[in-house]
Chain A
Amino acid sequence: MADPGLPVKAQPLGKTKPPIWRDDRFWKIFFQFVAVAIVVSVLGVALTNMNRNLAIQGRTFNFGFLDEVAGFNIGESILPFKRSDSYLYAFFVGFINTLRLILIAIPMATVFGLVAGIASFSSNWLLKKLSLLYVEIMRNIPILLVLFIWYFVIFFGVTGSEDLTQVSPFLLLSKKGIWIPWPDSTAASLASAAVLGVGAIAAFFISRWRTKIMAERGAPGKTQLYVLLSMGVAGLLIFFFGLGWQFPGGEDSNNIEGGLKASLEYSAMLMALAAHTGAFIAEVVRAGIQSVSKGQWEASRAAGLSQTQTMQLVVIPQALRVIVPSLNSQYITLNKNSSLALAIGYPEIFSVSQTTLNQAGRAVEILLMLTLTFLFLNLITSFIMNRINAAVQFNER
C-alpha cells in the first residue's frame, strides 16, 4: 500500500526496474564471484594447512636441496651421471630417459595401432581375427600386468638359462639387454647420414613439385619420376654400405662388441607401452574408418579404384579428421604411463624422483616438480597434435 501522502511518480507500465535478485545478469556475475571465492579459499586452506604441518615437523618449503649432491647412481642413461652430481641434474637425466622412452614408443604404438586398426577391415579372416584378439586382450588387462609379462615372462623366458642368445646376425638377446646393429660413429658414416637426410628432404620437395605440375599443367612428370627413382636407389646403397653398420657379437653378456644396446628394462617398457597403447589406437583407427560413409567406398569402387587405392586416397584422408583428435589423448596416456617404469627398474623421471624424495625428504617440492614436468610434456604433445589436426582438416573452398 503506497502512502497516499507521497506523490507517486507515474511510470509507464512494464518499465519498472525489477528488484536486483530477479535480474539474471546479477546472478550470473554473483555465481562467478562465489566460484572464484570458493576456489581461492580451498587453495588457501590447503596451503595454510601444508605450511602449518611442515612447520610442525620443522621443515620449510624451498628448492635449495636441488643443488646438493645426489649420492646415488643412475644405472642407465644417455648423459653421463656420477654420484657427486646434483639432484637437479639427476632429475634432468631422468627426464631425458623419459623422453628416450616416449619418443620411440609413440611412433611404435602408432604403427601397431594403424596395422591392427586397418587389419580389422581386412577381408582375410585370419588377419581380422588376429587383430581382434590383440585389441581385446590388450585393452582389457592393466598395463602393469602387460609390463610384467614383457619383462619377467617374455624377455626372461626367451633368454632362458643361456647367457646369450644369437637370434640372427641382427638381433642378440641376453639377460642384460638386447643388441641391434648400429652405424659406427666415424666421419664417413656421419657424412653418409647427413647426405641421406638432405636427400630425403630434397626428394620430398621434388615429389610435391611433380604432383603440382601434373595436376596443374597435365605434365607427364616422367623426368621427375626418374630423378626420384635414381635418388631412391642411391639412398638405399648409401644406407646399406655407407653407414658402416656394426653387428653385435661377443663371448658373454658383459663383453659385447658393436651394435646398440637396449637394456631389458628399457625394451620391456617400450614394448609394453607400444603394445598397450597400440590396441587403443587400433580402436581409434577403426572408429575413424567406420566414420567414412559407405557411399564414399562405393563411389571410389565405381570410379575404378582398387581396394588399396580406395583406402589410401579416399578413406584414410577422411578418417584422419576423426582419428587425429583421439590420438592426442592416447599419446598423453602413453606419456603418463611411462612412469610405470619404476616397477621394473628403468630410471625414468618418476623413478629418479622417488629416490630423491626418499633421500631428501622433500615430498611437496618433488611432487610439484613432477606435476609440472608431466604437464609441460603433455601440453607440448597436445600442441603438436593440434597442429597436425589443423593440417588434416578439410580445406573448405
Chain B
Amino acid sequence: MGKWSLRLVAALAMVAPLAACTTPAANNGGGESGGGASVGGGRLAAVKSAGKLVCGVEGTIPGFSFVDSSGTYSGLDVDTCRAVAAAIFGTSDDIDSKVEYRNLDSTARFPALQNGEVDMLARNTTWTLSRDAAGGNGMEFAPTTFYDGQGIMATAEGGATSLSDMDGKSICVETGTTTELNLATRIEELGISVDEVKFQDSNATFAAYEEGRCEGITSDRSQLAAKRTGLSNPDGHVLLDDVLSKEPLGPVTINNDSGLFDVVKWVSYGLIQAEEFGVTQDNVEEQVGSESADVKRFLGAEGDLGEQIGLPNDFMVHAIKAAGNYGEIYDRNIGEQLGIERGLNKLWTEGGLMYAPPFR
C-alpha cells in the first residue's frame, strides 16, 4: 500500500503542471476574442479588472525611464505609462499605485510582452516593419513619442570626427537592438573594419566603454546624451556627426488586441493634441468648459469619443492631469535633464513631426 500511495502522489505531481498549462490558454482565449470587433475585451478588460497596468520600461536611462534611489520612476516613457493608466482607470489620483513597472533588457522585452508578463512596453523601442509584422515579431506600434537617430560617441582623446575614423578600432554595442544591424550595414558601406564588442546589458556596455575597452560606443543619440551625463568625465566624450538611422521610439502592445492598442495609440496622440490645443496639466479643468467645440469634444465634455474606445469620455482629462501634455512631458524629462533640443520632436505647427489625427 505504501508503494501505491507513493505512485499516486507521483501521478498527482505530474498532473499539477497540466492544470497550470490550461490556465494561460484560457486567458489567451479571451485575448483572441478581443482581437475581433468587441471593444474593451481582451487585455484591456484584464487590465481594468486587475486595477493595475503593467508597463515594461528600460529603467536605467535618465530622461526616458529611470528609477531613483527611493524607487520612484520618472521619464518620458514613464509618463506615457502614467497617462495611459489614468485614461484606463478614469482617475489621476494616486496614479503611481495603479502602474507597475518592469525593467526589461532589450532581449527580454518582446518575449515579456508576448507572454503577457507586461501589458505594454514604453521602452525606447524602434518601430520597424519586421517588429510590426505578424510574420516577424508580431507587435503593434503606437505613435512615435520620440524621434531619435542612432549616433556614435567616441573618446575626445581618440580624435575621431566621423565613423570612417573608427577604422581598425573597437565599438561597444548593446546586443539585440536595431543598433547592431545599422552599424553592420554602415560599416560594410564604408568598407572599414571595426571590432564590435556586444553586451547584453546597456550598463555593461557603458562600463566597458568607460574602462577603455572600446574607442567608441553606439546607441540612440538621446541615450548617448543621457548616459554621458553619468560618465566620470562627460567632456572627454564627443557625439560624432554620423546619424546612422531613423529611430522612431514609441509604446508597443501585442498584435491582434485592438482594444488595448487603440487606447495606447489615442492616449499618445491625445498628449500631442493637448499641446496643440494649449491644454496643460494646470489648466485642463478650466479647458473642459472651453468655448471651442473641438476642445470640448477632445476632453469629453461633448460627444462619446471615449466610449468608442472603451474608456470614460473624459479619459484625456485624467491622462493630462497625470502627466501633462506632450510639450510639458518633453521639457520636464528630456529638455531640462538632458539638454536635447526638441528638433524633430516639435509640433507640426512649429516645423516638427508631432502630428495627431483629428479627435472626431
Binary per-residue interface labels of chain B (144-171) against chain A in the complex, 1 for a CB within 8 Å, 0 otherwise: 0000000000000000000000001110
* Contact call A38/B254, Cβ cutoff below 8 A: no
Chain A: number of interface residues, binned into ranges = 35 or more
- Closest residue of chain B to A354, judged by CB? B107
Give A155-169 interface residues, CB cut-off 8 Å to B. 156, 159, 161
Q: Tell me, yes or no, whether A122 is within 8 Å of chain B by CB.
A: no
Instruction: Name the one of A41, A58, A351, A361 contacting B200, with C-beta atoms under 8 angstroms.
Output: A351
CB-CB < 8 A to A6: which residues of B?
none
Q: A57-B254, A342-B175, A358-B110 are in contact. Are A73 and B196 (CB under 8 A)?
A: yes
Binary per-residue interface labels of chain B (233-272) against chain A in the complex, 1 for a CB within 8 Å, 0 otherwise: 0000000000000000000001110000000000000000
Task: Write the nearest CB–CB distance from B129 to chain A, whole angstroms.
Answer: 12
* Contact call A343/B184, Cβ cutoff below 8 A: no
* Contact call B11/A57, Cβ cutoff below 8 A: no
* Contact call B200/A342, Cβ cutoff below 8 A: yes
* Contact call A58/B134, Cβ cutoff below 8 A: yes
Chain B: number of interface residues, binned into ranges = 35 or more
Instruction: Name the one of A59, A73, A345 contacting B138, with C-beta atoms under 8 angstroms.
Output: A59
Q: A35-B14, A59-B134 are in contact. Are A345 and B199 (CB under 8 A)?
A: yes
Task: Write the nearest CB–CB distance from B90 to chain A, whole angstroms.
Answer: 29
Q: Tell me, yes or no, whether A83 is within 8 Å of chain B by CB.
A: yes
Give B102-144 interface residues, CB cut-off 8 Å to A. 106-107, 110-111, 114, 130-131, 134-138
Instruction: Name the one of A45, A57, A82, A265 contacting B134, with C-beta atoms under 8 angstroms.
Output: A57
CB-CB < 8 A to A45: which residues of B?
18, 21-22, 25
Overall SS of chain A's interface: helix
Q: Tell me, yes or no, whether A321 is within 8 Å of chain B by CB.
A: no
Q: Tell me, yes or no, whether B293 is within 8 Å of chain A by CB.
A: no
Q: Tell me, yes or no, whether A344 is within 8 Å of chain B by CB.
A: yes
**A46 to B25, alpha carbons, bound, how many Å?**
9
Q: Tell me, yes or no, whether B336 is within 8 Å of chain A by CB.
A: no
Q: Tell me, yes or no, whether A34 is within 8 Å of chain B by CB.
A: yes
**A227 to B244, alpha carbons, bound, how many Å?**
67
* Contact call B213/A264, Cβ cutoff below 8 A: yes
CB-CB < 8 A to A56: which residues of B?
28, 31-32, 35, 256
Give B185-227 interface residues, CB cut-off 8 Å to A. 185, 187-188, 195-201, 204-205, 207-208, 211-213
* Contact call A35/B134, Cβ cutoff below 8 A: no
Q: Tell me, yes or no, whether A254 is within 8 Å of chain B by CB.
A: yes
Instruction: Name the one of A41, A57, A73 contacting B18, with C-beta atoms under 8 angstroms.
Output: A41
Q: A45-B21, A156-B211, A358-B176 are in contact. Are A57 and B114 (CB under 8 A)?
A: yes
Task: Write the nearest CB–CB distance from A377 to chain B, whole angstroms.
Answer: 21
* Contact call A42/B138, Cβ cutoff below 8 A: no
Binary per-residue interface labels of chain B (35-55) against chain A in the complex, 1 for a CB within 8 Å, 0 otherwise: 100000000000000000000
**A139 to B270, alpha carbons, bound, how many Å?**
56
**A357 to B134, alpha carbons, bound, how many Å?**
15
Residues of B at the A interface (CB closer than 8 Å) are 4, 7, 10-11, 14-15, 17-18, 21-22, 24-25, 28, 31-32, 35, 106-107, 110-111, 114, 130-131, 134-138, 168-170, 172, 175-177, 180-181, 183-185, 187-188, 195-201, 204-205, 207-208, 211-213, 254-256
Contacts beyond the supplied A38-B14, A57-B138, A360-B136: 5 A-B pairs with Cβ under 8 Å: A56-B35, A57-B114, A57-B254, A255-B168, A363-B111
